[in-house]
Amino acid sequence: MTKNNELSGISVVSGWGVGKAYFVGRAVKNVSTVNITRQEVGNEIMRFGEIREEAKKDYRQLINQGAETTLDSSILNIYEHILDDPAFIGQVVETIATRLYDLESAIRTVSEDFITRFESAGTSYFKERSSDMVEVCEKLVSCIHQDNGRARSFIEPVVLVVLRTFTPTDILSYDKSKIQAVLTTSGGKTSHAAILARSYSIPVVSGVHNITDKIHPGDQVLVDATAGTVFVRPTATLLNHYKRPHDTEEKLERLKTRWRKPVYTKDGVKLDILANISLPDDVDEAIDNGADGIGLVRTEYLLSNRKEMPPEDVQMMYYTDIFEKSKGKPCVIRLMDIGGDKIPQFFEMPQEFNPFMGWRAIRIFLERKDILVTQVSAILKAGKGYNYSIMVPMVTTLQEWTEAKKIISGVARGLNLPMPKCGVLFEVPLSVLEMNTFLKEIDFASIGTNDLIQYLSAADRNNSKVNYLYNPIEPAFLRIIRNTIKTANDNGMPLSICGEMAGNPHHTLLLIGLGLRRFSVIPRNIPIIKELVSKISLVEAMEHISHIDAIDSTKNMANWLTSLNQKLLGDAIEKYPSVDDLL
């Protein structure tokens, strides 16, 4: 293996995987194919006509906007002409029918052929037509992806190559069982996409430069995400090295078997280790890993790959499935956290310079009350007879919370159903600082450390230039967490942490010492967290953690915490290689 076939990046989710390169985020110049059966040909051709009409409709809307659009109407007319070009249409139809390519693969293949011919002509006019072809192809592919929630499947394992910022939809749009790894140009460890990838044990490497110069569609790619290394067209020797059996999974299976039961600290205090999930199938994994309940259901992923907001009956089926699979264990449903990097394809969002601090979650709900009422109605109907509660994200003020709770109460009253327990996800600094004012009005609380750190440090967690400031063991941040936990405990308020900090085993001892009694983590790490909890004395942990005020820097805190983990846990952390996934 020469260095020319080796790329490097940043480890986002550790592990390794090997598969054929499948490009995401750019419709042409990177043509990977998905095959269909002959019986599916007719449907794909019919669908081609539908998405062409949808694309033309979008362009006409831009033309009708006149001065409001930055694109000249004559250029938009060219796009329409390409969409109606008999040569383009005929070649796509022929590719589907004779080569048995799915619609997306056929459009990409034909577009690439047109672009190659345009560029080889050598004149500026045809080169401009080349960029027009790229635009049209992008538009058609984006229309395809709105497919009512059906995940696209592959015939063989793939490595997704994402040529832009990595988003949650990049995982949810495909059959997750076939995704062996993800390569992306940008995206941090605590981005929502990374969190989702981690929950499905999909290795991710970010910050890979010159991807398209080194990797071509269909190339076999080996991703060592633990080392941040990517091998293009790896040798058989290298593949055999990685495929050699490891004992990691065997250790985890033993832990799963041991911890399908409640966990207590060494001095007899029961802790709840809950699961963060996104889809109904995730509940099975959570229960199998010993979850004491579901601490966070990320309901916005119900919207993935849909053309429109799902109606109440569709949402109700989603929640019913989750409640049934939870087998009577408590389940916290978070209302849809739309916004930031979780924007449905069909949802019209305003142009925002900083969407993470803009119109999202509860802010959308209080303006679009119809969406909130539909979701709450579906949850309440599905939850009849189950142990569930509702959590509201991104709450900033008590007034927001009061208005949201009033709507939930009104829906419950209208349905003649009991009002569920309702709580707040504390992730906005103002609400955290005013937690005392919320305690009389809420039934439970959770801390969303991912966004809270981002807002407190004014550091975008996806920006490699500033994410060194994004650190959960920053002394000032830990003091805020300690005070928040203490406030809840002093008032008898159930409180959990559902951010990535809770799922990092290197922080387990720290959080217990700070007073946390409820952790909500990805299913795979539940047995590891329980194992560590069983080896910790609550009194001893609290005694040691009481000294953190004397530590004045992140570096000193990291050194001190490493030393404390070694002192109180010995080699317990190092025994489980999967722990590296969280570092």
* DSSP one-letter string for 235-251: -HHHHHHHHS--SHHHH
| Average pLDDT, integer, range 338-352 | 66
Asked which of 61-70, 422-431, 455-464, 546-555 is least confident by mean pLDDT, the reply is 61-70
| Average pLDDT, integer, range 71-84 | 72
Residue pair 355/340 in contact (Cβ under 8 Å)? The answer is yes
Q: Which of 137, 331, 422, 498 is catalytic?
A: 498
> Over the stretch 230-273, which tens digit does the pLDDT of each residue have?
999 998 888 888 876 556 667 788 888 999 999 999 999 999 99
| Average pLDDT, integer, range 49-72 | 68
Report the 10 Å Cβ neighbour count for 52. Answer: 22
Question: What angle, rounded to 10 degrees, do the helices at 369-382 and 312-325 form?
Answer: 40
Q: Is 422 a catalytic residue?
A: no
Q: Is the pLDDT of residue 56 over 60?
A: yes
Q: In the chain, which segments carry CATH 3.20.20.60? A: 249-582
Does residue 195 or residue 100 have the better pLDDT? Answer: 100
pLDDT at 6: 86
pLDDT at 10: 86
Q: Which amino acid is at 205?
A: V
Torsion 254-256-257-261 (CA) sign? positive
pLDDT at 250: 75
Q: Is the pLDDT of residue 511 over 90?
A: yes
Q: 165: burial class by Cβ within 10 Å (0-12, 13-18, 19+)?
A: middle
Q: Please, which residues bridge with residue 298 across strands?
A: 334
Q: Which of 137, 143, 192, 422 is catalytic?
A: 192
CATH level 3 topology of 38-144: Enzyme I; Chain A, domain 2 (1.10.274)
Q: Please, which residues bridge with residue 11 across strands?
A: 205
- The CATH label, of 3.40.50.300, 3.40.50.2000, 1.25.40.10, 3.20.20.60, for the domain at 249-582 is 3.20.20.60
Asked which of 191-195, 201-205, 398-402 is least confident by mean pLDDT, the reply is 191-195
The residue with tokens 């290394």 is 229
d(CA 334, CA 320): 15
Mean pLDDT of the chain: 84
- What secondary structure letter does DSSP report for 547? T
Q: How confident is the model at residue 209 (pLDDT cuts 50, 70, 90)?
A: confident
Phi, psi of 519 (to 5 degrees): -110, 140
Which among 524, 536, 525 has a CA at the least distance from the CA of 564? 536
| Average pLDDT, integer, range 548-564 | 92
pLDDT above 90 coverage of the chain, percent: 50
Q: Is the pLDDT of residue 87 over 70?
A: yes
pLDDT at 428: 94
Residue pair 558/473 in contact (Cβ under 8 Å)? The answer is yes
Q: Is 216 a catalytic residue?
A: no
Residue pair 431/395 in contact (Cβ under 8 Å)? The answer is yes
In the CATH scheme, what is the code of domain 3-27+152-244? 3.50.30.10
> Over the stretch 434-487, which tens digit does the pLDDT of each residue have?
999 999 999 999 999 988 998 898 877 666 677 678 889 999 999 999 999 999
Q: Has this prediction a pTM greater than 0.75?
A: no
Q: Is the pLDDT of residue 578 over 60?
A: no
Which among 155, 156, 165, 158 has a CA at the least distance from the CA of 208? 165
Phi, psi of 389 (to 5 degrees): -150, 165
Q: In the chain, which segments carry CATH 1.10.274.10? A: 38-144
